[in-house]
Amino acid sequence: MKKTIFASAREAEAAFYDAFGKNDLEAMMSVWADDDEIYCIHPGGARISGVENVRESWRRLFTNGQTLAFQLRARHEIHGMMVAVHSVYEQIAVAGQGPARNPMLATNVYLRTDLGWRMVAHHASPAPAAPVARTAQESEVKAAPKTLH
């Protein structure tokens, strides 16, 4: 199967969520890099590494047959020449089940390769709360508590 060349990380991300919503395993894996260093963390799950393991995780996930619709909100992106990191709130609606569920918070990492931009990491977990707009006061720099993480 010939892989699509994604000209930008955003284009790869759009293909990722399109494949996810359609339960299309081949389209999903065409977004991912062919590198055993890739990894995926599904909500509440362990880290899954390597092309074959990531593929199998998506195959199992897609067997539920649910049609999903994704709306990405509160996008935060960091772009470099060779890597892009996107943090998004995924508002997910399941066809036939009414309004969208509580959002997930996802981090998607893309690497520029010879075949265009490819996903190398996806980590999703339940969002603690819906994103809110920051006020001017909240945006001020404050002393952060000392923590290890």
Pairing of strands 47-49, 116-126: unpaired
pLDDT band at 67 (very low <50, low <70, confident <90, very high): confident
Q: How far apart are CA 83 and CA 22, in angstroms?
A: 27
Question: How would you classify the pairing of strands 116-126 and 39-41?
Answer: parallel
Question: Based on C-alpha coordinates, what's the Rg of the chain?
Answer: 16
Closest CA to 111 of 41, 9, 37: 9
What are the pLDDT digits (tens) for 27-55? 999 999 999 999 999 999 999 999 999 99
- Pick the closest to residue 106 from 24, 4, 16 (CA basis): 16
Eight-class DSSP state of 98: -
* The two three-digit tokens of residue 46, written as one number: 């362990």
pLDDT tens by residue, 73-129: 889 999 999 999 999 999 988 877 876 778 999 999 999 999 999 999 999 999 986
Spell out the domain ranges in the chain: 9-129
Does the 9-129 domain belong in CATH 3.10.450.50? yes
